[in-house]
Each structure stands twice: as C-alpha cells, then as structure tokens.
Amino acid sequence: MRLQRVGTAGPAKRRRYGSSKGEALAFYGFLSPWIIGTAALTLFPVGYALYLSFTAWDGVSVFKPWVGLANYREVLTSSDTLSSLSKTLLLVAIIVPTTIVGSLVLAVLLNERVRGRTFFRTLIYIPAIVPPVASALIWKVVFDQNSGAANRVGAMFGVDAVNWLTGNRAFVVLVVVLLWGVGAGIIINLAALQTVPMEQLEAVKLDGGNALTAFRHVTLPVISPVLLFQTVLVTITTLQTFVPALLLSPISTGGGDVYTNIPNANRVYMVDVYSQFFAYSRYGYGSAMLTVFFLVIVVLTVLIFKLVGRSVFYAVDPTASGKG
C-alpha cells in the first residue's frame, strides 16, 4: 500500500497521465483541421442537402416548403431521371470493363523488356495528366463536323461528314473521351506488376507452363487487389461523369444556356442533377437525386466487393488482426 501510494505507482501514474494528456492534445491538434474541414465541408453540406431533399426549395426563395418524400417518389418514377440513370449505367457497363481490361493488357505489354519502353510508357501516360477540360476540348475539335480529323479520315474512305457531337453519336464521343484517360490505370497496373514474384513465374516455367498459365495462376492473383481497387474507382468516377458531357456540348446556340445544348444522348445522371439545380431551380429535387445516387453508388460498390471480392487474392489476410 505504501509503495503504491508513495513510491512507484503514484509518480508513474502521474507521468503516464501527463504524457497521455500531451499526446491527446497533440493528437486532437493535428487532427482538428481534418475534423473541422470534414464537418464544415462534408458533413454539414451532406446534412443540409439531405434536409433540402425533403423540400421544394427553388434556391432563392426565403421559404423552403416541406414536401416529405415527394421528391424521392418523383426520382424513382420520373422517366427523364430514370433515362439519365440508365444512360449512366450503360456508360459504366462500357467504360469499366474496357478500362480495366485495356489498361491491364497495355500494362502487360509495357512491362515487357522492349526497346523504347520508357518512351511508350510516357506516351501512353500523357493523356492521363492532361486536364479533363483540355482533353474534352481537344476531342471536340477532333470530332467537329466541318474541320475535325474524324470526318477527314472518313472522307479518305468516301464517307460523308457527320455531326459527331449531336444525337446518339455524341454518346460515342463521350465514351472515347472517358477511355482516353486509361493511362492512369496502366501506371497503377505497371506498379502492381512489379510486385509479382519472379521465382513463382520461373517455377511455372519449370513446371512446363506457358506465359498465359503464368499470367492466369500467378500474375492475376497477385495483382487482383489492385484490379479490385481500380474497378471500384473507375465505377464511381464513371457514375459521376459530368464535366466531359458538359464540355462536349456546343458553347452557344444563339445565346442559349449550356443546359439547352447538351445532346439528349449525353444527359447522364449528373448532367440531369445539374440541370435540375441550375436550369430548373429545383434544389430540393436535385438534392433528392443526389441522395438516391449516393445510395446507388454504395449498392454498386458493395455488389462489386461481394461479386469480385471473393476472387481477390491477398498475400496477407486483410481480416486478420494486426496484434500478435
């Protein structure tokens, strides 16, 4: 009792207390910018948008009439909204597999010891670092009806010029623009390919396996977590496609607003949301659309993990505790 009170325990306890208080202060001090930032710039706007989704606010009026679930009912039944959602899902269905497979194939090719490998790696990665605005504008010029390269190529084969930026063709151009950024995936895959153990690849060779066998049974399992990460990332970014669709539309049609010039084929979900907010001044409905979209993204992400996650190979069991 005496030892505990006067000797070791007391001062030791005080030291621990003093130390942990300082650590706590440092901890919260370093963390506070992030906490304040998240609260002010994420949690509050999200909460406020959620509140708005139950109103019919027009963005400028003092009143925010409460409409309950009416906006949500409309989101789930509006033919325009469902149409924009289906276009977005079609975009995902095209872009995600093409990007994942395409970037993997190109990464494998660029991983080979060929002459000028660095040059080709740089060349393929350049489009990924071009700002999306510049990229969309470049493609807009390429697909211009009167002076674009696409129609010039067509003319070489006797094909009459077509207007690529209107009607359903505009969707094709949007797909091309989105696929143009495949370079980022190539770099990630290249990095992942460096982690494939050479001895395992050699073991396959010694066992009589060919390159395809090695790729299927060694390379693919090793890089599968990276592929899963990319699948989730590309799915989410494709779902949120907005800027390219906006920039590919003509800037002006006799002074019209930008919303009026976006071809119907490119009225994907985020374009629809944007129109609801800023063309129709329907802040409540737009917020409900965003809430529903958030849930769609969550569901799709969970589905990807459920469907693909089982096939992913982890060298270290991610579910295992970090403690000894």
Partner 1 sequence: MQHSQAFSRRSVLKSVGLVAGAAALSACSGTGSSSTSAAVKSPKKGTLTIMSAQGEITSAEIAAFEKAYPGLKIKLILTDPTRLNAMLAAGDPPDLVRDAGTDVTPYIASRGIALDLDEYFAKSSVLKTADILPINNCWRWDGKTQGKGARYGIAKDWSQDAMWWYNSDLWSAAGLTAPDPTKPITYDELFEASKKLTKSAHGKTSVYGLYTTTPGMDQIAAMVATAGGRIMSEDLGTADFTSPEAIRALTWLVDVAKAKVGYSAVNPSPDWDGPEYLAGKQATAGQGYWFNGFVASTAPAYQSKTVFAAAPMLGSKRVSPSFGAVGYWIPAKSKNPGAAFEFMEWYCGGAGAAKRIAAGNGLPSMKPMLSLVPQKTEFQKASFKVQTAELPYVSVIPVATPYALTTALNTTLAKDFTAAVGGGKSVAALADLLTKDVNAVLANGKKLAGK
Nearest approach in angstroms of CB 40 to partner 1 is 14
Cα–Cα nearest to 175, from 123, 248, 121: 248
Nearest approach in angstroms of CB 141 to partner 1 is 10
Residue 151 binding partner 1, by CB under 8 A: yes
Q: What angle do CA 34, 37, 41 make, to 5 degrees?
A: 145
Residue 282 binding partner 1, by CB under 8 A: yes
Backbone angles phi, psi at 178, to 5 degrees: -70, -35
Amino acid found at 140: K
Q: Which one of residues 256, 295, 303, 311 is an interface residue with partner 1 (CB under 8 A)?
A: 256
Q: Which residues of 214-239 are buried (b: 16+ CB within 10 A; e: fewer)?
A: bbeebbebbbbbbbbebbbebbebbb
Nearest approach in angstroms of CB 190 to partner 1 is 39
Q: Which one of residues 221, 259, 305, 312 is an interface residue with partner 1 (CB under 8 A)?
A: 259
Indicate the residue among 4 and 61 with the shorter CB distance to partner 1: 61
Q: Which one of residues 263, 268, 287, 293 is an interface residue with partner 1 (CB under 8 A)?
A: 263
Nearest approach in angstroms of CB 46 to partner 1 is 17
Any idea what DSSP says for residue 197? -
How many other CB atoms sit within 10 Å of the CB of residue 124?
19
Task: Mention every residue, 6+ apart, whose C-beta is less than 8 A from residue 223.
Answer: 189, 192, 193, 195, 196
Indicate the residue among 214 and 248 with the shorter CB distance to partner 1: 248
Q: Which stretch binds partner 1 (CB under 8 A): 176-184, 186-194, 223-231, 259-267?
A: 259-267
How many other CB atoms sit within 10 Å of the CB of residue 189?
22
Task: Mention every residue, 6+ apart, whose C-beta is less than 8 A from residue 102.
Answer: 179, 182, 185
- Rounded Cα distance, 174 and 244, in Å: 7
Task: Mention every residue, 6+ apart, whose C-beta is less than 8 A from residue 270.
Answer: 88, 240, 241, 242, 245, 293
Indicate the residue among 226 and 262 with the shorter CB distance to partner 1: 262
DSSP string, 5-38: HHSSHHHHHHHHHHHHHHHHHHHHHHHHHHHHHH
Residue 255 binding partner 1, by CB under 8 A: yes
Residue 277 binding partner 1, by CB under 8 A: yes
How many other CB atoms sit within 10 Å of the CB of residue 176?
16
Residue list 34-73, contact with partner 1 (CB under 8 A): 56, 58-63, 65
Q: Which one of residues 72, 120, 242, 278 is an interface residue with partner 1 (CB under 8 A)?
A: 278
Cα 205 to Cα 202, 219, 222, 274: the distances in Å are 5, 13, 17, 55
Residue 144 binding partner 1, by CB under 8 A: yes
Residue list 156-215, contact with partner 1 (CB under 8 A): 160-163, 165-168
Indicate the residue among 166 and 237 with the shorter CB distance to partner 1: 166
Nearest approach in angstroms of CB 322 to partner 1 is 45
Give the total of residues touching partner 1 (CB under 8 A).
44
Nearest approach in angstroms of CB 83 to partner 1 is 10
Residue 242 binding partner 1, by CB under 8 A: no
Residues that bind partner 1 (CB under 8 A): 56, 58-63, 65, 80, 144-146, 151, 155, 160-163, 165-168, 249-257, 259-261, 263-264, 267, 275, 277-282
